[in-house]
Amino acid sequence: AQTVTQSQPEMSVQEAETVTLSCTYDTSENNYYLFWYKQPPSRQMILVIRQEAYKQQNATENRFSVNFQKAAKSFSLKISDSQLGDTAMYFCAFMRYNNNDMRFGAGTRLTVKP
């Protein structure tokens, strides 16, 4: 079974600084997808970034980028120039290729301080 581990229950960062959230996963699959979702206090989960395992290039979306290390089964999220609106729970998630069963980690609560 696939498992996703987020080892940092809580993190904080000063506004405008950079923070990295960690995620590791366990799978025997070769093709899969990895996601980072953001869940603000309002509760609606929002996709931050997606990575396809067959792509070596790390995904980037504006201030958000990932460091995908397939051999190490590591998928960290870097947030640059942190903003107050980035305060939220962040969930790492794994999905096998051609299977929409998404497995989530326990989440990291990020607080951006002014």
Binding site for other proteins (CB under 8 A): 4, 33, 37, 42-47, 50, 91, 93, 95, 100-102, 104-107
Smallest separation, CB 62 to other proteins (Å): 17
Q: Locate all alpha helices (DSSP H) within the chain, ordered by sequence.
A: none
Pick 33 or 73: Cβ nearer other proteins: 33
Helix (H, G, I), strand (E, B) or coil at 86: helix
Pick 19 or 38: Cβ nearer other proteins: 38
Smallest separation, CB 77 to other proteins (Å): 15
CB 30 within 8 A of CB 53: yes
Pick 19 or 93: Cβ nearer other proteins: 93
Give the contacts of 12 (CB within 8 A, at least 6 positions apart): 110, 111, 112, 113
CB 53 within 8 A of CB 32: yes
Beta bridge partners of 108: 90
Smallest separation, CB 79 to other proteins (Å): 19
Smallest separation, CB 76 to other proteins (Å): 17
